[in-house]
Amino acid sequence: MGSGAPSGRCHPDGAVRMPPRSATGAVAVPALAAPVLAPGRAAAEEVPRPVPGIVKPLPAEWFVPRGTNAEMRWESLRGADGEAVVGRRVPVERFFVRNHTSTPLIDPASWRLRLFGSGLRGAPARERAVEFALEDLRALPSTRIDALIECAGNGRGYYSRQQHQSVPGTPWTLGGVGSASWRGVRLAEVLRAAGLTDGAMDVLPSGLDPDYVAGGVNYGPVRRPLPIAKALDDVLLAFEMNGEPLTPDHGAPVRLVVPGWVGIASIKWVGGIEVADHPLHSPWNTDFYRMFGPGHPPGGGDPLTVQVVKSAFELAEGAVLEAGREHRLHGRSWSGTAPVHRVEVSTDGGRSWRRAELHDEPRAHDWTRWSIGWRPERPGRHELRARATDRRGDTQPDTAGFNREGYLFGAVVAHPVTVA
Ligand SMILES: Nc1nc2c(c(=O)[nH]1)N[C@H]1C(S)=C(S)[C@@H](COP(=O)(O)O)O[C@H]1N2
Ligand SMILES: [Mo]
């Protein structure tokens, strides 16, 4: 196209290559300019990758490998001296990765976004999709939003660790979340340019990563319907993250960013978008990402949308703090619904709470950094707790509501430290 107007020409999906791999399954890891990396790590050294499907380096100081995913270490947001090394935005190289399969390498020149379905004028079939090349998207008015991406399973590990409830799936602690600045075109703009009709009801973006296969079932490409109201509200087709073109692991060349909603809504490597005048389904809004189990409707609750309130300390689990000295405890809190209103911290196992000082102007869909002073006197094991409340009044409970898949763990987390 190149003209900015949809052409309706047909093209195959953007060419997809898998990341190059050596015979040993290792790839050359590019050098990282990072103060916390061990100085001995050479630029072109071949090291086995902790998560084979992820392209970027995953230094152990920054990430915990979890199956096909990489969790961000909260303590890596501070240097050894306790000084902040990460601002409100998480640098791309430190951002957590959640892949159902593996990161595809997509040629941006042949990539096309293909829109089709009964919710568009003329109801184009998949083979007659309205197409946009990357230049076409870049020619449309662009917007920047600061927003979190957070996995619905973030915190899942605490269902078993804290509530003694066994749940399957990735046992994330609290590092399945990150905040970035995203630039792209509003999905609304692209839908309208593609001929959106008043009858449109659901929008189904589909990823170009390999089909998701689990337990012998092929669920097809990762894809999840969005109701038209959210699609037209604040959803972005993003091509930049923190001012740079998207990188492969985070959805290059183009991904969705769905502010406030569970991460699965923010489809990476988007290729096709079906727009329908009837409800759409995929395993990601039927089998997965709904609440199942006791206390939930028999066939499962509604598909998950907004995220719950959470807080995390920028501190290692079991961190050692010197007794008889004033420390500054740092952390971040966020909510999918509303800006953070207040954050309270307990250093005595939840008996008393003090108000933390907020360091950012709280905004919806983003986190707010905070800190509080603490002078521990008694050596031994202590538990720190942080509890946030958002402007709608939602707060973090002591226990999270059980659901079979362990989604949306929003309870206050007990963070063990040792005073010595
Ligand atoms: N195509 C595709 N999109 C995807 C996924 C995926 O596996 N494939 N994972 C989703 C999930 S579950 C999350 S939490 C976010 C993670 O985004 P990130 O890897 O950029 O942090 O991407 C979402 N988009
Ligand atoms: Mo996720």
Mutate to test the pocket of ligand 1, among 90, 223, 264 (most ligand atoms within 8 A of CB): 264
Sign of the alpha-carbon dihedral angle for 196, 235, 308, 298: positive
Residues with Cβ within 8 Å of 265's Cβ and at least 6 positions away in sequence, in order, are 224, 226, 256, 258, 305
Q: How far is residue 388's CA from residue 395's CA, in Å, rounded to a whole number?
A: 6
Nearest to 123 by CA among 200, 61, 187, 177: 200
pLDDT < 70 stretches in the chain = 1-47
Q: Which two tokens stand for residue 251?
A: 């959805």
Position in ligand 1 atom list of the atom nearest CA 208: 1
Q: Where are the beta strands (DSSP E) in 270-414?
A: 270-276, 310-313, 319-321, 327-334, 340-346, 354-355, 357-358, 368-374, 380-390
Quote the DSSP letter at residue 104.
Answer: P
Nearest CA to ligand 1 atom 24: 267
**Residues in contact with ligand 1 (CB, 6 Å cut-off):** 95-100, 149, 151, 207, 209, 222, 250, 263-264, 266-269
CATH T-level fold of 310-419: Immunoglobulin-like (2.60.40)
Nearest CA to ligand 1 atom 2: 268
Q: Which two tokens stand for residue 406?
A: 């362990």
Determine the pLDDT at residue 45.
57
Determine the pLDDT at residue 37.
37
Nearest to 95 by CA among 225, 236, 255, 283: 255
Q: How far is residue 88's CA from residue 78's CA, in Å, rounded to a whole number?
A: 12
Q: Which two tokens stand for residue 294?
A: 């006791």
Nearest CA to ligand 1 atom 19: 97
**Domain 26-53+98-286 in CATH: superfamily?**
Oxidoreductase, molybdopterin-binding domain (3.90.420.10)
Q: Where in the chain is the domain with CATH 3.90.420.10?
A: 26-53+98-286
- Please answer whether residues 5 and 17 qualify as being in contact, where contact means their C-beta atoms are separated by less than 8 angstroms: no
Residues with Cβ within 8 Å of 416's Cβ and at least 6 positions away in sequence, in order, are 317, 318, 381, 382, 383, 384
The ligand placed nearest to the CA atom of residue 72 is 1
Q: Where in the chain is the domain with CATH 2.60.40.650?
A: 310-419
Determine the pLDDT at residue 46.
62
Q: How far is residue 249's CA from residue 270's CA, in Å, rounded to a whole number?
A: 13
Distance, C-alpha 308 to centroid of its chain: 14
The ligand placed nearest to the CA atom of residue 256 is 1
Position in ligand 1 atom list of the atom nearest CA 96: 21
Determine the pLDDT at residue 47.
66
Ligand 1 center from residue 222 Cα (angstroms): 9
Determine the pLDDT at residue 42.
46
